[in-house]
Amino acid sequence: MHAAYSVNAKRLHWLIALLIVAQFLVTLLMPDIKEGMSMEPVITLHFTLGLLVLLLMAVRLVVRLRNPVEAATTPGKPLERVLAVGVHRLFYAILLTSPFLGWIAASAHGLPVALFGIVELPALAADHAEWGHQAGDVHGLVMWTLLGLIALHAGAALFHHLVRRDDTLRRMLPDRSR
């Protein structure tokens, strides 16, 4: 178990965080996905950003498993550690599964899923498939829950930095000593 995050772990953390913030902004601009609708650039962007996050999270999981890092919490606060590690694991679980639910929902609505609108990917559900529409409902619900968890996670990081004045946030920032 390492004490510090590697440069790659930090890069991936902030790149993925940026993509997810952009993704939620795009989601607000996205029209309701309905059967038989035509593709719009904002929908292509939602699919592309989501697929990039999925891809980068898979890379990140490999980086993380090969290089396990201890979570930073104040000694003597076991509950905080459990909560922090639990949220971190939930991030991995959600971001490695829920994009597939969105992909399934896209297919069930007859929408093509193509990375950057060019690299076409296979449909994961039949057009009009009822289970695919349900997957879409779960996708939305899970992703809005994710947004709440991100607020909790970022709030905790800022609390550590500004109130506790410890090194938690600095652990995830570029190492200036090198």
Question: Taking CB under 6 A as the rule, which mask of x and - marks residues 34-53 in contact with ligand HEM?
Answer: ------------xx--xx-x
Of 82 and 150, nearer to ligand HEM (C-beta) is: 150
Pick from 4, 39, 56, 71 the residue near ligand HEM by CB under 6 A.
71
Pick from 44, 45, 84, 125 the residue near ligand HEM by CB under 6 A.
84
In contact, 70 and 1? CB cutoff 8 Å = yes
Residue 172 contacts ligand HEM per CB under 6 A: yes
Nearest to 49, CA basis, from 115, 105, 103, 95: 115
Residue 13 contacts ligand HEM per CB under 6 A: yes
Residues 6+ apart with CB under 8 A from 16: 53, 56, 57, 60, 95
Q: How far is CA 123 from the centre of its chain?
A: 22
Pick from 45, 64, 123, 125 the residue near ligand HEM by CB under 6 A.
64
State both tokens at 153: 């996670």
Nearest to 96, CA basis, from 130, 69, 62, 57: 57
2 DSSP β-pair partners: 69
Residue 129 contacts ligand HEM per CB under 6 A: no
Pick from 22, 56, 129, 150 the residue near ligand HEM by CB under 6 A.
150
Residue 106 contacts ligand HEM per CB under 6 A: yes
